[in-house]
Structure 1
Amino acid sequence: MSTHSEKIHLQASVPQNLFGKRLDQALAEMFPDYSRSRLKEWILSDCVTINNHVVNVPREKMMGEETIEINATIEVQVQHEGQKIKLDIVYEDDDILVINKPANLVVHPGAGNNSGTILNALINHAPQIANVPRAGIVHRLDKDTTGLMVVAKTIIAQSKLVEQLQAREVSREYEAIVYGTMVAGGTVDAPIGRHPTKRINMAVRESGKPAVTHYRVKEKFRAHTYIRLKLESGRTHQIRVHMSHIRFPIVGDPNYGGRPRPPKAANEEFIETLRAFRRQALHAVQLELVHPVSGDWMSWHAPLPADFVHLLSIIRGDKVINGNGEI
């Protein structure tokens, strides 16, 4: 038995007979399947919109006929089954395992992904891990982000790893290719919360949770930059949101990157490679932590995946011939 987050989407028009009622009272009558405390929590967590505007005040008065929309998550207990899905295991002992996650693989079952996930693969590989909350998964990578993840095989190991993550003692470094040519590295210190209108997205918001991302330039190109990043916090979509926020979105990012933007006079191979790269060019390259049982400092490195390497080689080869010669 384990828990997972399930997305909830509710939408309805406020009946006229609820005129003058408070928002929390109206929601309790409109959505009786959910407790008043849960509905109030959703209001306070920016999960409720009225006519497409987030409202986080439970006492807001209703006029009638407003369109109410709720986009939230709830923890659901489910019995997951193991599935024979290949795992690229970088390290394993009695307490933890470290995997190199491929692209196009969801970490945890959820709405629309009830099977075929890393969690199912973990239960198949180590059946006892089903007794650990979330099958030992203590941090996630997005579906199309590749690279290193640590998983706890026991409850004790999970507790210790969660403590390290909360204390920011786990070192996680990433590599990415972004649009635009950076002058130098830097730090993005900007809080992240749920996007006010695009509910599956995150955004930099004053009301969000603190988030800090450090980045440095590895290579500069004509219209792109190859960078190394280090997280201080671990918010949902953090690197993707922060890079988009400073106007250097990650190449291929379907949510925050926009359309492919090849440089002027780029050759056909360059243009087609960019168009064909349909995931964020983001890879968790290095992971370092204190072993939760032995106390040893441990470090792992995952080489760049083949599609990332190919994209980088094409960008490195981007040159333009003009009247003044080769640039």
Structure 2
Amino acid sequence: MSEVDGDAAGWSQGTMDAEYRAGGLSDPEDEAGELAAADDAAERRGAEVDAAGHGERLDRWLTGLAPEFSRNHLQVLIERGCVTADGKPVTKPAHRLRAGQRLEIELQPTDESRAFRAEAMALAVVFEDEHLAVIDKPVGLVVHPAPGNWSGTLMNGLLARHPAAATLPRAGIVHRLDKDTSGLMVVGKTLEAVTALSRQIAAREVHREYLALAWGRVEEDFVVEKALRRDPVSRVKMAVAPANLGKPARTDVFPLGVGEVKVGVQDRPVSAVHCVLHTGRTHQIRVHLAHSGHPLVADVLYGGLPALGLARQALHAARLSFQHPVTGEALALTAPLPADLATAWSEIGAEGLPG
């Protein structure tokens, strides 16, 4: 077994092997298709408004001039000042046209089409060979481009680090972590590795273990086996759902220690816990622990009050284990707690944790 230096929560190789509980990672929710690389060159296109276009909204009229773009993107271009009428900028999509006006538009690529590009960035690589790499993702790094984050993502960094990633689905990314969750991720560097890793994930043969700080007193092991679905009220959240309406999800939770944190004038318990996934649903640990009455510290989205100086949910993917997709070697990799969590962890004084 291969082990990368880096002690998560004070576990030695021996204690990790002894305390390891097998858990699998299933494929996260379906993602959008791969983004294609795009040419940044902007095209200028123009035409004269005819009688049929008189009184028409500018954004609607432009869909006939540039039918390959969505009306929403054309509205963005209008507001950016990319459209002129008789040589003068027009920045209101609802502007009404007059017959005989000469309209010109600078057709810039969509933000989505610009997403699949290389951007050099520092990445903490804990294991790498010609087939795959395991990254210790920092807090704040978005994994894959999405609305609001079309650049500066892990995918962009992978394209710069390994140019051949441009030929792979999602640049080799086979699973995700939330933006504000730190820890280990495996990415493929060849199509063979990506395909094999994806199959292992689907078969729940890629095992991930997390360290977390949660509100309340956790002194015994427990299992949360509740289906999850998108929250019907808030689209940015997930929620526990009846089995017939959600996707199956299971999280095993093991106590590592309990400390006290002052909130106002009261002391409230905070527990250090070790979580093992048997499925890999979006926000799974966050929702399951909140549903059990133990929201993560500083996970405001799911009711976890900020404390211990943390500005993000207290969750770290500390251990990743799987079979190498090409060599068959058993890999077990660990990542130490990042500075913010390590400080918070030490403040609650839980036994067996780094001081």
Q: Structure 1 length normalisation: TM-score?
A: 0.69
1:152-173 deviation line (CA, Å, top 9, x unaligned)? 0111111100111111111100
1:49-104 deviation line (CA, Å, top 9, x unaligned)? xxxxxxxxxxxxxxxxxxxxxxxxxxx77661111110000011111000000001
Aligned to 2:182: 146
Distance (Å, rounded) in 2 between the aligned partners of 1:181 and 1:259: 15
Aligned to 2:353: none
Aligned to 1:65: none
Aligned to 2:324: 291
- Contact residue 148 and residue 287 of structure 1 kept, 8 A: yes
Distance (Å, rounded) in 2 between the aligned partners of 1:299 and 1:313: 25
1:172-225 deviation line (CA, Å, top 9, x unaligned)? 000000000113111100000000101110000111100000110011223010
SS of residue paired to 1:233: coil
The one-letter amino acid paired with 1:228 is H
> Between the two proteins, what is the percent identity of the paired residues?
44
Specify which of 302, 305, 310 is matched with residue 277 of structure 1: 310
Distance (Å, rounded) in 2 between the aligned partners of 1:290 and 1:301: 15
Aligned to 2:152: 116
Pair 1:208-2:254 in alignment: no
Aligned to 1:3: 34
Aligned to 1:254: 300
SS of residue paired to 2:155: helix
Pairwise CA RMSD: 1.8
The one-letter amino acid paired with 1:314 is E
Aligned to 2:273: 227
- Contact residue 215 and residue 304 of structure 2 kept, 8 A: no
SS of residue paired to 2:311: coil
Question: Rg bigger for which structure?
Answer: 2
- Contact residue 3 and residue 77 of structure 1 kept, 8 A: no
SS of residue paired to 2:34: strand
SS of residue paired to 1:221: strand
- Contact residue 158 and residue 165 of structure 2 kept, 8 A: yes
Aligned to 2:24: none
The one-letter amino acid paired with 1:213 is T
1:296, CA displacement in angstroms?
A: 1.1
1:123, CA displacement in angstroms?
A: 0.4
- Contact residue 216 and residue 229 of structure 1 kept, 8 A: yes
Pair 1:240-2:273 in alignment: no
Specify which of 133, 137, 140 is matched with residue 101 of structure 1: 137
Alignment of 1:107-186 (within 5 A): 107-186=143-222
- Contact residue 83 and residue 116 of structure 1 kept, 8 A: yes
Aligned to 1:312: 345
Q: Structure 2 length normalisation: TM-score?
A: 0.63
1:3-31 deviation line (CA, Å, top 9, x unaligned)? 15xxxxxxxxxxxxxxxxxxxxxxxxxxx
Specify every segment of 5 or more residues in structure 2 that has no aligned partner in the other structure, as ranges.
Answer: 1-32, 36-68, 71-111, 261-268, 351-355
1:280, CA displacement in angstroms?
A: 0.5
SS of residue paired to 1:3: coil
1:229, CA displacement in angstroms?
A: 0.7
Distance (Å, rounded) in 2 between the aligned partners of 1:78 and 1:161: 27
- Contact residue 258 and residue 348 of structure 2 kept, 8 A: no
1:233-256 deviation line (CA, Å, top 9, x unaligned)? 000000001000101000011311
Distance (Å, rounded) in 2 between the aligned partners of 1:130 and 1:292: 20
The one-letter amino acid paired with 1:3 is E
Distance (Å, rounded) in 2 between the aligned partners of 1:133 and 1:103: 24
SS of residue paired to 1:298: strand
- Contact residue 99 and residue 150 of structure 1 kept, 8 A: yes
Specify which of 120, 127, 139 is matched with residue 91 of structure 1: 127
1:275, CA displacement in angstroms?
A: 6.4
Alignment of 1:66-81 (within 5 A): 80-81=116-117
Specify every segment of 5 or more residues in structure 1 that has no aligned partner in the other structure, as ranges.
Answer: 5-32, 35-75, 261-273, 318-327
Aligned to 2:234: 198
SS of residue paired to 2:302: coil
Moved over 6 A (4+): none
Aligned to 1:9: none
The one-letter amino acid paired with 2:275 is L
Distance (Å, rounded) in 2 between the aligned partners of 1:126 and 1:161: 18
Distance (Å, rounded) in 2 between the aligned partners of 1:258 and 1:96: 35
Instruction: Specify whether residues 258 and 178 from structure 1 end up closer, same or farther in structure 2 by C-alpha distance, changes over 3 A only.
Output: closer
Specify which of 251, 255, 275 is matched with residue 217 of structure 1: 255
